[in-house]
Amino acid sequence: MGCFTFLKAMMFVFNGIIFLAGIGILGVGIWVKVDSGSVLSFLGKIENVPPEISQVLNVGYLLIAIGALLVVIGFLGCCGAVRESKCMLLLFFLIVLLVFIAEVAGAVVILAFQPLVSPNLFAKVGQAASDNIKSSYGRNADLTGLWNSTMDTLKCCGFNNFTDFRNSPYYNSSTSMYPPQCCGNTNNPCNQTVAENTMTAGCFPKIKSLVDGNTVVIIAVALGIAALELCAMVVSMTLYCRIKSTMA
């Protein structure tokens, strides 16, 4: 009986962690979709952007789906263990197994399509973003506000650097001035000389640096979730069999 109680407690703890992880992933997914200053959302509005980059916009929906599933299976696992419900435990196991298979398949797909993330693709995206800035920044209020929000948040300037704003409507209407973010938001006019001396990094290099710097954390979290799912499946089946034998 002591072993049985221990398995129930382990099942509850494992699924409690999965439940909390699901809430966290769900929150991140919702944040990605509702953040109006997100560069991901901005990329989806750029004209002539390469079609491959549009898949990035699905990340938010993917996180929401995975987070919601983890919340459901965590709830089923906890209730199944506490109530000693074989039906809930079996349903929990099947859903976790399907999620685990889907995660493995998703990792394989990401690795298979990794060649799409090439310097050539980045060059196309950069050119499309630069062209969009030159044609609309200072003329289109929505795009201008979106760029300003992004630059203020990330402390960056343009997609590549300040030269992206050259010959834009803002540049032409302000007598060859650049946005103040390109000069560190100083009170001095942001002209060519000040922008060159400040050399504020572009938003794309800033984002790439953030992603590269957190790659280990992202991988560790993914592996941790996968390990928890495997442990939860093993414990759920052991508990399922134990319940069955005690009721025989």
Q: What CATH number does residue 200 fall under? A: 1.10.1450
Q: Are residues 36 and 67 in the same domain?
A: yes
| Per-residue pLDDT, 55 | 47
- In terms of domains, do 8 and 105 share one? yes
| pLDDT grade for 178, boundaries at 50, 70 and 90 | very high
Residue 210 in domain: no
User: Which region among 53-57, 63-67, 77-81 has the lowest average model confidence (pLDDT)?
Assistant: 53-57
**99 & 126 share domain:** no
> Are both 241 and 181 inside the same structural domain?
no
Residues 93 and 161 occupy one common structural domain: no
Residue 112 confidence (pLDDT): 65
Q: How confident is the model over 115-164, as pLDDT tens digits?
A: 555 556 566 777 788 888 888 898 888 788 888 888 888 888 988 888 88
The pLDDT of residue 43 is: 57
28, 112: one domain:
yes
Say yes or no: 16 and 78 in one domain. Answer: yes
Residue 235 lies in a domain: yes
Within a domain: residue 188? yes
Q: Is residue 181 part of a domain?
A: yes
Residue 76 sits in the same domain as residue 56: yes
Taking the model in full, what pTM does it have? 0.50
In a domain, 219, yes or no: yes
Across all residues in the chain, what is the average pLDDT? 77
Same domain, 226 and 167: no
Q: What is the pLDDT of residue 246?
A: 47
| 14/111 Cα distance (integer angstroms) | 29
| Count of structural domains, the chain | 2
Does 31 share its domain with 108? Answer: yes
Domain containing residue 68: 2-117+215-246
* 85 in the same domain as 35: yes
Lowest mean pLDDT, pick from 53-62, 123-132, 190-199 = 53-62
Same-domain pairing of 44 and 149:
no
